[in-house]
A and B are shown apart, each in its own frame.
Chain A
């Protein structure tokens, strides 16, 4: 049964990768990175049981925590960029 889940996860990862490559906006890519992260967590959990090594679950835990930081960092980045753009726009309008 683990195989079914593993294959489903792998196919979903491939689909998410297609979305990441196609875009079209940067936010679509962030979405697929986030999806990819959670899929990796599931994949690692399943592989841990497939291989009979429950101690691999530490890895899944690390991913669940770290992926969030990566996504937040990217978003913070875009937000500050948007803010800068809006500011420049308003400055231009004032002049």
Chain B
């Protein structure tokens, strides 16, 4: 039983690490703000779920699991909200969502 749990948790952790990495590369390489946000959100949701889920399986039924669940819950609530607020603020300020390699109009103004 323990072996099965270990294997599942390793798979989760590795997959989580892969998603986090992919999201990071996306946030660096994507052409404009909104596509970058799209890439970054992968790390905040799927990455977090997989990594924290993997750790939860390792922790077993302890207080630590509850704390991990709380962390996951708060991350899942806060990061989409932050993304929404960010996109909204950028939109109002006039950063245009354009397909392809849109030149960034506003440079740090």
Chain A interface (Cβ within 8 Å of chain B)?
1-2, 4-5, 7-9, 11-13, 15-16, 18-19, 23-28, 30-32, 34-35, 38-39, 41-42, 45-46, 49, 54, 57-58, 60-61, 64-65, 67-68, 71-72, 75, 78-79, 82
A42 CA to B24 CA, complexed, in Å? 14
| A23 in contact with B108 (CB, 8 Å) | yes
The residue on A at minimum CB distance from B9 is A1
Per-position contact with A for B90-102: 1 when CB-CB < 8 Å, else 0? Answer: 1011010000000
Instruction: State which of B33, B43, B67, B82 has its C-beta within 8 Å of the C-beta of A25.
Output: B33
Instruction: State which of A7, A39, A45, A72 has its C-beta within 8 Å of the C-beta of B85.
Output: A72
Q: With A15-B25, A25-B107, A82-B92 given, is the CB distance from A71 to B20 under 8 Å? A: no
Which residues does chain A contribute within 8 Å of B21, judged by CB atoms? Answer: 8, 11-12
Instruction: State which of B20, B54, B71 has its C-beta within 8 Å of the C-beta of A39.
Output: B20
Q: With A5-B51, A54-B64 given, is the CB distance from A27 to B33 under 8 Å? A: yes
A25 CA to B32 CA, complexed, in Å? 10
